[in-house]
Chain A
């Protein structure tokens, strides 16, 4: 059964700290891995998409890594800011179920304290 897990469920850090969010998935046969951000009462916004052939992607202060063999991904946020406070979700389309069928983790709720 394809599953995506995220730990921790919640994280609180002081402004300026670097932090790492974790995502694990049960099947290494994936098309890609995506990280999304969700603000309260709003939809999801795509942050980074890593293809299965890639090891990492960077966008500004965000860096996402992918290790398919171990079924893990991390999202690294450098120099965190209060505006980074949101829920972060990872999502994976498994080859067994198709490129358009995203399985989402339950998310990590991040709070950055000014």
Chain B
């Protein structure tokens, strides 16, 4: 298996622009997670899906952030409009979902908002 795939790996944009991050989970995993990692706050869970349905979005910082999972093999995290404080590394992870299972992380997307 190729693991969790994220694109793009790096994104540089200007404040006010729309940003879309993409994720392909491991086939057969029922859970998909979006995380954000910053120096100040560490790694934080933004939202997670079970069988394509959003379960917990309490970590989504503002209405500017939205996430979708239209099918079992694809998810997007969108920021509109982007702000400099959104600069971070965004990780996608997937999991079979049992308590005994770990989460498998993608390589991340490094976002820089100028």
Contact = CB atoms under 8 A, between A and B. Distances in A.
Contacts of B50: 100
B43 A100 contact: no
Interface residues of A, number: 23
Interface residues of B, number: 24
Contacts, number: 51
A49 B95 CA distance: 13
Nearest to A45: B105
Interface string B42-53: 111100101000
A51 interface: yes
B26 to A, nearest CB: 12
A96 B83 CA distance: 32
Interface string B6-48: 0000000000000000000000000101000000001111001
A89 B37 CA distance: 12
B100 interface: yes
List the 6 closest A-B pairs by CB distance, nearest first: A43-B105, A46-B102, A104-B43, A44-B105, A106-B42, A43-B107
Interface of A: 31-32, 34, 36, 41-46, 49, 51, 89, 93, 98-102, 104-107
